[in-house]
Structure 1
Amino acid sequence: MAKEDKPIVKCSVSNCTYWGEKNLCQADMIMIDIDTHASRDYNAEFAGESFDTEHQDIAESSSATCCHTFKPKS
């Protein structure tokens, strides 16, 4: 996907490394999972690295999901 084709991802977590002005996520890739897997380690130090994309889950609502891309600002 070309950079100009990147979807708009809004995020209000301003202490994330990938947070940008106007709440726009600057990550190259976003990994979202269900809360059951919240503590799973995907070794995602940088959003551009690959994540586990082999499994599939079902979430009942957005509140049952979590973002694994989050990385606190240093």
Structure 2
Amino acid sequence: MPNGEKPIVKCSVSNCTYWGEKNLCQADLIMIDIDKHANQSYNAEFAGESFDTEHQDTAASSSATCCHTFKPKSS
């Protein structure tokens, strides 16, 4: 991988705790799910922690997915 063992993740949600300059995500772990589970709570406070899920789903396109790693920046 061009970034060592960590993949490059681009994100334009600048009010996320893990958002970095040039839209680079700084989270240690990314949790992405299908929109069907958009309101699911995985009890994760930080992206580096484990998520309480082992399920697997399929998506037909990227528009059918959502990121559960998002955490609003503290004011």
> For residues 2-22 of structure 1, what are the alpha-carbon distances to aligned partners after superposition, in whole Å with 9 as ceiling and x for unaligned?
x84111000000000000000
SS in 2 for 1:66: strand
Alignment length, in residue pairs? Answer: 72
How far 1:27 moved relative to its partner?
0.2
Opposite residue 28 of structure 1, the aligned amino acid is D
Residues 1-74 of structure 1 mapped to structure 2, 5 A cutoff? 4-74=4-74
CA RMSD of aligned residues (A): 1.3
> For residues 18-39 of structure 1, what are the alpha-carbon distances to aligned partners after superposition, in whole Å with 9 as ceiling and x for unaligned?
0000000000000000001001
| Aligned equivalents of 2:15, 2:61: Cα separation in 1 | 24
| Aligned equivalents of 1:22, 1:37: Cα separation in 2 | 29
Checking the alignment, whether the CA contact within 8 Å between 2:42 and 2:51 is kept in structure 1 is yes
What is the aligned-residue identity percentage?
86
Tell me the TM-score normalised to structure 1 length. Answer: 0.91
| Aligned equivalents of 2:51, 2:10: Cα separation in 1 | 20
Note the residue ranges of structure 2 that are not aligned, 5 or more in a row: none
Note the residue ranges of structure 1 that are not aligned, 5 or more in a row: none
